[in-house]
Amino acid sequence: MTVLFSRLLPLALLFPLVPQVLASQPIDLENGEEINEVCAGCHGEYGQGGKAGKYPRLAGLPAPYIAEQLKDFRSRSRPNMPMVEHVDERQMPDEDIQDIAAYLARIELPSKLPPVDEHAPGFNAYARLLESKKVVQIPRAPGNVQAGKKLYHRECASCHGRRGEGRNKKNIPMLAGQYTNYLWRQVRLFHEGKRHHDPDDPDERLLDDFSHQELKDIFAWLSTADD
């Protein structure tokens, strides 16, 4: 133990993040998979979301972002009645939050099924069906895609990424590949001040200056960005 520490200490001084990593429990993905059985009831077995965006897609969101949202639901600083009972301290201690967040963040979902020859020997219809459940293809949302693309790149891309893919390192969620209905609901929560867009600066109202039409155009472009 002492040997280990004396070896790690100089490293820890060089990289201030190292002690935090050491302090947390190792990630247990099997535990994450088990917890996901509860989440799957609403968010789908692969975190693909459901009911056309009533339940958002979770697969591929940054792990620290997922963890933060779960803690916000728990403290009720972000409203989410359907989930409150699943995230209270007894149901979901911090270690579980870490595991489920890591599990969901690692799931990659295709936006289309690769073509196959259904008549080829060895074609497995059941495996194909399971594969098709993982596909998330956001239906084209109404609005002007070209105008939306321009606005998005000027106003949103610096944080949400050039293709709307989000930023892992900065805990910023993807917008492309997320359901349009869900995104609109978040816009309303931001407008009503029930959710904060910039966790470091709760007074920053990032979307207040955009008209409904401008956001519509942005969401139209985003719905095509995952094609």
Report the b/e string of 9-27 with b at 16+ CB within 10 A: eeeeeeeeeeeeeeeeeee
SS3 206: coil
Subset of 188-227 contacting ligand HEC (CB under 6 A): 197-199, 206-207, 210, 218
Q: Which positions from 175 through 194 interact with ligand HEC, judged by CB under 6 A?
A: 175, 178, 182-183, 185-187
3-state helix, strand, coil in the chain (%, to 5): 50, 0, 45
Calpha distance 173→66 (Å, rounded)? 9
Nearer to ligand HEC, 134 or 185 (CB): 185
The footprint of ligand HEC on residues 159-178 (CB under 6 A) is 159-160, 172-173, 175, 178
Element (DSSP H or E) covering residue 133: helix 125-133
Nearer Cβ to ligand HEC (11/38): 38
Q: Quote the least distance from Cβ 41 to ligand HEC, whole Å.
A: 5
Q: Which of residues 47-106 bind ligand HEC (CB under 6 A)?
A: 55-56, 58, 61, 66, 68-70, 80, 82-83, 86, 100
Distance set, CA 95 to CA 25, 32, 60, 73, 90 (Å)? 7, 10, 20, 16, 11
Q: From the CB of 15, what's the least distance to ligand HEC, in Å? A: 24
Residues 125-164 that bind ligand HEC (CB under 6 A): 155-156, 158-160
Closest approach, Cβ 198 to ligand HEC, in A, equals: 6
Residue by residue, what is the 3-state secondary structure of 55-95?
A: ECCCCCCCHHHHHHHHHHHHHCCCCCHHHHHHHCCCCCCHH
- Contact footprint for ligand HEC (CB under 6 A): 35, 38-39, 41-43, 55-56, 58, 61, 66, 68-70, 80, 82-83, 86, 100, 155-156, 158-160, 172-173, 175, 178, 182-183, 185-187, 197-199, 206-207, 210, 218
